[in-house]
Amino acid sequence: MMRLATLLRLTGSVLLLLSLSACSLFDTRDDVYVDLVGLEPLPSQDMEARFAVKLRVQNPNESAIRYNGIALELRVNNRPLATGVSDESGEVPRYGERVISVPITISAFSVLRQAWGVAASAPSSHASVPYELNGKLGGGLWGAARFTDTGELTLPAQ
């Protein structure tokens, strides 16, 4: 009897693991589209600047994306500039969009690294600087919905 119970537990565990790994085969969700649509100053401490970044998140999928938290990282000129997190929860409807506000922090040291990098590269009069925004909408049935936006910022002529 003990041997049968052990065999049943083992078989059940194997079936559970197989069914969980099979779920990843059905994740055909397309990446979300994210655009920066606003930037508002927030109260800051002495050695930092804080902003509320407003992102328009578009969901090109058949099902809604439920999220519980969001994280962002902004890199400029291949260097980290700002990070932000929010425990906001909500839903981006299927084939719909939602504007999400995320507080970000820019430390004084990040600004110094950026200034040093721009000065060291001796930009031309119409130089552009690459940026990369990485983030994720946490939670949901399929885990985090990750997104990336890249481009170039054109520096003003001197």
**What is residue 51's predicted lDDT score, i.e. its pLDDT?**
92
Q: H/E element holding 9?
A: helix 2-23
In CATH, the number for domain 30-119+129-149 is 2.60.40.10
**What is residue 78's predicted lDDT score, i.e. its pLDDT?**
87
> Residue 141: which residues within 8 A CB-CB, separation 6 or more?
66
37-46: burial string, b at 16+ Cβ within 10 Å, e else: eeeeeeeeee
Domain residue ranges of the chain, discontinuous segments joined by +: 30-119+129-149
User: In 3D, which of 47, 129, 140, 54 has the Cα closest to residue 92?
Assistant: 140
Q: Contact at 8 Å (CB) between 76 and 154? A: no
pTM: 0.70
User: In 3D, which of 8, 7, 63, 54 has the Cα closest to residue 32?
Assistant: 63
**What is residue 143's predicted lDDT score, i.e. its pLDDT?**
75
Cβ-in-10-Å burial (0-12, 13-18, 19+) of 98 comes to middle
3 HSE (CA, 13 A, CB side) = 0
Q: 142 φ, ψ to 5°?
A: -100, 10
**What is residue 140's predicted lDDT score, i.e. its pLDDT?**
62
Regions of the chain where pLDDT drops below 50: 125
